[in-house]
Amino acid sequence: MDGNIQNIDAKSKAAVNVSRRYWWKVVALCFVGWILIYADRTILNPVQEQIGAQFHIGNTQLGLVNSIFFLTYAICQIPFGILGDRVGRRLVIMGGFIVLGIMTFFSGFAFSFGIFLLFRALAGAGQGTYYGPQYALSTEAIPTKDLTLGTAIINSGMAFGTSGGYLLSSSMVLQHGMAWQTPFYVMALPTIIVGVLFYVVLKEKVIRPEDQGNTEKTAEVKKSEESKVQLKDLFKNRNLVFAFILCFCSIYANFVILTWLPQFLQVERGFQGSSVGFISSLVPWASIPGAIVFARIYDKLKKTKLMIAFLVPISLVAVFGIAFVTNKLLLIVLLIVYGLTGKLAIDPILVAFVTKNSPRGSLSTALSAYNFIGMSGSILAPYLTGWISDQFGSMQIGFYLAAVLLLVGLVLFTFTNDKKNLVQG
């Protein structure tokens, strides 16, 4: 067994030259991967009321479903990031997608709330294989000048998946009266297929065309692949630590909206039927042009702190306003503004910043640590906002708390340095 792992590890370290078009193949497949990841998450949210009625549970327990899912997701980040660096990122991603597809399918067969929680927890663990290994694969393949743009295109899959999950679930269940389990069955097979494609289509480690023929650069790339740092050393880098914290605050706010917006629209703002899915989808749809435009601007300016100082205050005001306003038209405008400037616009900039400040040989580990800290917000946001709703009869305070956290993350990020600051291994 140990010999097999060593063979896989040796193969994964052999860097190969790729064509100028290869990075588009990587971007396309990673984009589809995020569609499946987010659709598998958000098919739950429009049907929470039906699930609550079947299992006789309140908002606190419904929030626990998402919190448990993201707890296992977050816990798996660093171990699978390290495993990806050691035995191969494609292999880790494929295994995770297969587990995710199977557990999504079984979620529809849950006969009790406890069993449903178990299946969702295992589905979260399956998704936990994706973030670090995927971004390690993509950042090694995308040309430096297009890195933030390529990451933004990949991230836009999150928006398509979020919208697709909302629309699929609300259309099938809220509009056409199907059982709440149906969207879970529909999503299972495509998830497994995409996981297999990651292993079959992509290459493990690559030398980009811009580095080919440059013996000094190629030697530097190969040397950096061999240099690794311990996990604790990553947290000695101030730039990385404050990027991790801002990621946490951004994701907390995003998952308050992602998890509770459909029910907030129904219960506290009077939207009904398929309009819930449509209005909720405005956030991810608006995030697509926002992420791509701001990524392109960042690729030209290379000013992380300037971009963050522009985007985060606007998204902060939008999150606060979503809960505060009662006018439906103004609410829609604020949802679009948040989509343009929120998590999906910020994330490509932070990923590029973390990549710049991380050793290449431990890139999967560093990105997994980044997402582990960030996704801790997705553990707290669903449960805490559900608890606030049950205690105070409204979700508004939960949205206000998300806005405050964004302010905290913004202030701390001002202490970073835009200059490259690699951890020394």
Q: What is the mean pLDDT of residues 245-256?
A: 92
Under 8 Å between Cβ of 139 and 355: yes
Average pLDDT over residues 373-381: 84
Asked if the model's pLDDT at residue 86 lies above 70, the reply is: yes
- Which domains, and CATH codes, for the chain? 2-413 (1.20.1250.20)
Task: Give the pLDDT confidence of 189-208 residue by residue, as tens digits.
Answer: 999 999 999 999 988 877 66
* pLDDT (0 to 100) of residue 28: 95
- Sign of the torsion formed by the C-alpha atoms of 186, 188, 193 and 199: positive
Whether this model's pTM surpasses 0.85: no
pLDDT greater at residue 289 or residue 85? 289
Lowest mean pLDDT, pick from 6-20, 130-144, 325-339, 348-362: 6-20
So what's the pLDDT on residue 361?
Answer: 66
Residue 118 has pLDDT above 50, yes or no: yes
Burial per residue of 337-365, b for 16 or more beta-carbon CB atoms within 10 angstroms, e otherwise: bbbbbbbbbbbbbbbbbbbbbbbbbbbbb
CA angle 382, 384, 389 (to 5 degrees): 95
Q: What Cα–Cα distance (Å) separates residue 84 from each residue in 9, 89, 92, 221, 365?
A: 10, 4, 6, 18, 8
C-alpha span between 295 and 151 (Å, rounded)? 8
Residue bearing the bigger pLDDT, 363 or 212: 363
Summary mean pLDDT of the chain? 83
d(CA 254, CA 399) in angstroms, rounded, equals 10
Span 388-420, pLDDT tens digits: 888 888 888 889 999 999 999 999 999 988 765
> How far, in Å, CA of 364 to CA of 354, rounded?
11
For a pLDDT cut of 70, what percent of the chain falls above it? 86
> pLDDT higher for 236 or 335?
335
pLDDT reported for residue 220: 54
CA distances from 356 to 49, 247, 351, 363, 418 (A): 44, 16, 9, 10, 10
Q: What is the pLDDT of residue 273?
A: 63
**Across residues 87-93, what is the average pLDDT?**
91
pLDDT at 53: 86
Confidence of residue 350 (pLDDT cuts 50, 70, 90): very high
Question: What is the model's pLDDT at position 300?
Answer: 83
Which pLDDT does position 183 carry in this prediction? Answer: 92
In this prediction, residue 122 carries a pLDDT of: 95
